[in-house]
Amino acid sequence: MTAPTTARGQAAVPGGWLRRYRPADDAAVRLVCFPHAGGSASAYLRFAAALAPSGVEVLAVQYPGRQDRRGEPFVGTVEELVEAVLPELRQWTHGPFALFGHSLGATVAFETARRLTEGGRTPAHLFLSGRRAPVVPRTDTVHLMDDRALVERVTRLQGTDPTLLEDEELLSMVLPAIRNDYAMAGAYRYRPGPPLSVPTTVLTGDADPNVTPDDARRWSEVVGGPFNLHVLPGGHFFLNDHTAGICSLIEEELGDAH
């Protein structure tokens, strides 16, 4: 399957939802990656580069309302986002595939896996990073903060370049996406159902202020396949400091899917 190239040079799938930074039509397995709140597909550039030599092609999801999709309206709920991305994903899930999501992206990846499995396309593996299990009681009101408090919150999580948050013009472009995605996360409610029978790896940081190891371990209550929890040094964006190790883990877990 071929794809056009965007102005920034990466291959894009028609329809706008997916980015292929290292296109590989003969990939042994594809890893669909969902960004964090306020994040974009480019968050997985390093994953694409690190995994390409192993035969794993990264398909990074680009949410509307940011970067090259900045002129498009935001999606209001996790359910709407999943429904919107599914048609394109189905074009790329005839062969072996896996899903990876960080923070809000983990919730989206989980719900996407449920929908794909219901339709007869079961992921080879599910990677859930930096997110408490959906059965953990929570109250998310970050999106209700004023701009200053929201910027301070994002800065503390250390997932955004501080210079970006100090530039008023750039901040005005990214803050609406951040607020929208936090509202999406706050509105999400887990829909009880049978455990998802997919091998699952959960990753979390030992100093994450949003997710305790116990919160992460409770993903085992909603998945029914083999389950592994990895607690790594770091805060909410621990994966930025452990890209090589996490990609090696992904390669190992996907070895049987080749």
Q: How confident is the model at residue 9 (pLDDT cuts 50, 70, 90)?
A: very low
**DSSP SS3 for 59:** strand
Separation between Cα atoms, residue 217 and residue 213, nearest integer Å? 6
Within 10 A of 5 (CB to CB), how many other CB atoms are there? 11
Q: Decide which of 149 and 201 is more confident.
A: 201
Q: Which listed CATH number (2.60.120.260, 2.60.40.1730, 3.40.50.1820, 3.30.565.10) goes with 11-257?
A: 3.40.50.1820
Closest to 211 in 3D by CA, of 127, 108, 110, 131:
131
Asked if 44 contacts 33 with a C-beta cutoff of 8 angstroms, the reply is: yes
Separation between Cα atoms, residue 69 and residue 219, nearest integer Å? 32
Instruction: Phi first, then psi: give them for residue 228, nearest 5 degrees.
Output: -135, 140
Domains of the chain by residue range: 11-257
Q: Which residues are catalytic?
A: 103, 236
Among 34-48, 150-164, 186-200, 208-222, name the one with the lowest average pLDDT: 150-164
Q: How confident is the model over 106-136, as pLDDT tens digits?
A: 999 999 999 999 999 999 999 999 999 999 9
- pLDDT at position 146: 65
